[in-house]
């Protein structure tokens, strides 16, 4: 059985104002400061980023020298304040008169919310000055993401006598690196970073003089040019396309992975405007010298196969899938090659000498023929619909099977190195193990809730759903019933539950 939902086109989330600071030091041998975000954060957990954050309403109260002609003066204040809060570095006029201890005290005072930033600066005789910052481009988070920011980037030099200091909390740590060293970490797959950061590092690697000009020359840096493909990890392009999928998801992620040769995972959109977006992404990559080897389907659901034939025919690319997927979609999509569990797909890149080693993992549970792909060099896992970036996964019998699903999640945890999950829907996750453990915990919790509901007298699927899914809108109850059924089937297999007609009872 296939699960579909109506495509109620949800408007994209409105981006919030944010500011980030590209902090530099040592003009003769320039280094840039980046931070690693904490794994507990709801957004971009464990990503590497520049210090920064959301605008504060009180930022508008802070006087800023040399800001007369500037439309976004307040965003400069936000960047300076965020930098101070996150790293202890204060970019301001007169700051050299403050001792390191005094600056640390002021930072604590600001953190505690005792004193407003404007008041604190005035009291210490320190003034913010727009001329100490260089403006870098403004970037907007792509529309498919659950949270979006309209981020103004600025650059500044580390003031003399100051050092960065990360207080663990929202940030895990921080590091000064030469720009090319940071880029190398990204190419080696040691970190996940968003495009504005990569662009800044690439521009900085060519020298600090005019680097913001070079950042501006990237087309995606223009506000109207929404980014269509993101490369959070070198050689892993993600393109989120609108599909008829299940809320809260509105898009399916298509991934293009590799070097000189690439494979395309799940071009899922049946909509012509979205297919045109992907066509352009493929054409751009081809023009850059990449060859598309094949299309791989993770599983049979319509939001993962809707654009497969279009891409295959337009670009003459063969299609591969697991045999259970191939037989299920026979007549709809032509599968040219079958992929078995444990098969290795190797993709090389001559220029860097890199190889992407994609190991196929047969991971049934969400769908019988579901494949995941584990890139062994970087520890990147393409999870299809086994783990998604937000919400939870639907396990709907008879296609879905809870026992298989839990086994697939445990198989993920047994992988030697896991640094990122690239899901079929929602954002890429850097806190990979944490997310999988959270999924297993969530399922255990659901099972316990179902047992409690049975103990309390619920017997039929609607009765159990009503007792358990108190947080889910009525419209989703049909799917919830199937999920409950999946849990009950597993409980029955463990001889904890018996079924009589529509009624389930504890043994
Ligand atoms: Zn699916």
Going from the Cα of 53 to the center of ligand 1, the distance in angstroms, rounded, reads: 34
Strand partners, 357: 346
By C-alpha distance, which of 188, 193, 185, 183 is closest to 378?
188
Rounded distance between C-alpha atoms, residue 21 and residue 16, angstroms: 17
Ranges of each domain in the chain: 18-221, 230-430, 446-506
Contacts of 165 (CB under 8 A, 6+ apart): 87, 88, 104
Burial of 390 (0-12, 13-18, 19+ CB in 10 A): middle
Contacts of 246 (CB under 8 A, 6+ apart): 3, 4, 5, 303, 394, 479
**Which fold does the domain 18-221 belong to in CATH?**
Nucleoside Triphosphate Pyrophosphohydrolase (3.90.79)
> Could you identify the residue written with the tokens 């597993």?
490
Going from the Cα of 354 to the center of ligand 1, the distance in angstroms, rounded, reads: 31
Going from the Cα of 423 to the center of ligand 1, the distance in angstroms, rounded, reads: 11
Going from the Cα of 367 to the center of ligand 1, the distance in angstroms, rounded, reads: 7
Going from the Cα of 305 to the center of ligand 1, the distance in angstroms, rounded, reads: 10
Tokens linked to 144: 């498919």
Going from the Cα of 238 to the center of ligand 1, the distance in angstroms, rounded, reads: 17
Going from the Cα of 63 to the center of ligand 1, the distance in angstroms, rounded, reads: 52
Going from the Cα of 300 to the center of ligand 1, the distance in angstroms, rounded, reads: 7
Rounded distance between C-alpha atoms, residue 317 and residue 359, angstroms: 20
Going from the Cα of 479 to the center of ligand 1, the distance in angstroms, rounded, reads: 13
Top-level CATH class of 230-430? alpha beta
By C-alpha distance, which of 18, 22, 19 is closest to 132?
22
Going from the Cα of 495 to the center of ligand 1, the distance in angstroms, rounded, reads: 29
Rounded (5°) CA angle 203-207-210: 70
Going from the Cα of 249 to the center of ligand 1, the distance in angstroms, rounded, reads: 11
Rounded distance between C-alpha atoms, residue 45 and residue 39, angstroms: 5
Going from the Cα of 64 to the center of ligand 1, the distance in angstroms, rounded, reads: 52
> Could you identify the residue written with the tokens 């070079």?
214
Q: Give the residues of the chain that fall short of pLDDT 50.
A: 1-9, 223-225
Number of residues in the chain: 507
Q: Dihedrals φ, ψ of 416, to 5°?
A: -65, -35
Going from the Cα of 320 to the center of ligand 1, the distance in angstroms, rounded, reads: 17
> Could you identify the residue written with the tokens 């087309």?
219
The H or E element containing residue 190 is none
Helix (H, G, I), strand (E, B) or coil at 495: coil
DSSP conformational letter for 127: B
Going from the Cα of 324 to the center of ligand 1, the distance in angstroms, rounded, reads: 14
Rounded distance between C-alpha atoms, residue 168 and residue 30, angstroms: 26
Q: How many CA atoms lie within 13 A of 286 on its CB side?
A: 12
What count of other Cβ atoms lies within 10 Å of the Cβ of residue 280? 13
Rounded distance between C-alpha atoms, residue 411 and residue 392, angstroms: 18
Rounded distance between C-alpha atoms, residue 412 and residue 361, angstroms: 9
Same fold, 18-221 and 230-430: no
* pTM for this model (two decimals): 0.89
Going from the Cα of 448 to the center of ligand 1, the distance in angstroms, rounded, reads: 25
By C-alpha distance, which of 206, 209, 199 is closest to 178?
206
Going from the Cα of 429 to the center of ligand 1, the distance in angstroms, rounded, reads: 18
Is CATH 1.10.10.10 correct for 446-506? Answer: yes
CB of 274 within 8 A of CB of 236? Answer: no
By C-alpha distance, which of 259, 150, 196 is closest to 49?
196
Going from the Cα of 332 to the center of ligand 1, the distance in angstroms, rounded, reads: 16
Going from the Cα of 191 to the center of ligand 1, the distance in angstroms, rounded, reads: 28
Going from the Cα of 476 to the center of ligand 1, the distance in angstroms, rounded, reads: 16
């Amino acid at each position: 059985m296939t699960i579909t939902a109506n495509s109620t086109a949800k408007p994209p989330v409105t981006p919030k104002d944010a500011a980030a600071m590209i902090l530099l030091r040592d003009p003769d041998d320039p280094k840039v400061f980046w931070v690693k975000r904490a794994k507990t954060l709801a957004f971009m957990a464990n990503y590497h980023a520049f210090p920064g954050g959301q605008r504060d309403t009180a930022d508008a109260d802070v006087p800023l020298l040399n800001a007369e002609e500037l439309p976004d003066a307040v965003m400069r204040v936000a960047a300076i304040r965020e930098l101070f809060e996150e790293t202890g570095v204060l970019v301001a006029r007169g700051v050299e008169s403050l001792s390191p201890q005094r600056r640390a005290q002021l930072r604590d005072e600001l953190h505690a919310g005792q004193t407003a930033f404007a008041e604190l600066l005035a009291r210490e005789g320190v003034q913010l000055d727009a001329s100490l910052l260089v403006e870098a481009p403004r970037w907007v988070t792509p529309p498919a993401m659950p949270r979006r920011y309209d981020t103004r980037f600025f650059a500044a030099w580390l003031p003399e006598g100051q050092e960065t200091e990360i207080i663990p909390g929202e940030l895990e740590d921080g590091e000064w690196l030469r720009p090319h060293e940071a880029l190398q970490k990204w190419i080696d797959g040691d970190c996940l970073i968003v495009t504005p950061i990569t662009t800044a590092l690439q521009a900085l690697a060519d020298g600090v003089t005019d680097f913001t000009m070079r950042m501006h020359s990237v087309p995606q840096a223009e506000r109207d040019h929404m980014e269509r493909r993101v490369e959070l990890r070198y050689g892993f392009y993600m393109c989120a396309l609108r599909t008829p999928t299940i809320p809260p998801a509105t898009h399916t992620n298509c991934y293009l992975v590799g070097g000189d040769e690439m494979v395309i995972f799940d071009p899922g959109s049946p909509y012509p405007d979205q297919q045109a977006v992907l066509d352009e992404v493929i054409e751009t990559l081809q023009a850059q010298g990449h060859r598309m080897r094949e299309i791989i389907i993770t599983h049979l659901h319509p939001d993962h196969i809707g654009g497969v034939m279009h891409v295959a025919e337009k670009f003459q690319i063969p299609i591969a899938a697991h045999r259970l997927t191939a037989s299920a979609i026979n007549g709809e999509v032509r599968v040219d090659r079958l992929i078995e569990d444990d098969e290795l797909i190797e993709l090389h890149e001559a220029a860097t000498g890199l190889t992407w080693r994609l190991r196929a993992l047969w991971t049934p549970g969400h769908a019988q023929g579901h494949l995941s792909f584990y890139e062994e060099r970087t520890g990147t896992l393409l999870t299809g619909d086994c783990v998604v970036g937000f919400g939870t996964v639907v396990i709907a019998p008879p296609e879905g099977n809870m026992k298989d699903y839990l086994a697939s999640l445990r198989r993920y945890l047994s992988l030697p190195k896991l640094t990122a999950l690239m899901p079929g829907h929602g954002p890429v996750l850097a806190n990979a193990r944490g997310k999988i453990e959270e999924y297993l915990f969530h399922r255990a919790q659901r099972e316990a809730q179902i047992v409690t509901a049975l103990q309390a007298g619920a017997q039929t699927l609607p009765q159990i759903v009503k007792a358990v899914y108190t947080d889910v809108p009525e419209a989703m109850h049909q799917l919830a019933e199937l999920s409950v059924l999946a849990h009950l089937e597993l409980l029955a297999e463990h001889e904890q539950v018996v079924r009589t007609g529509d009624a389930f009872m504890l043994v």
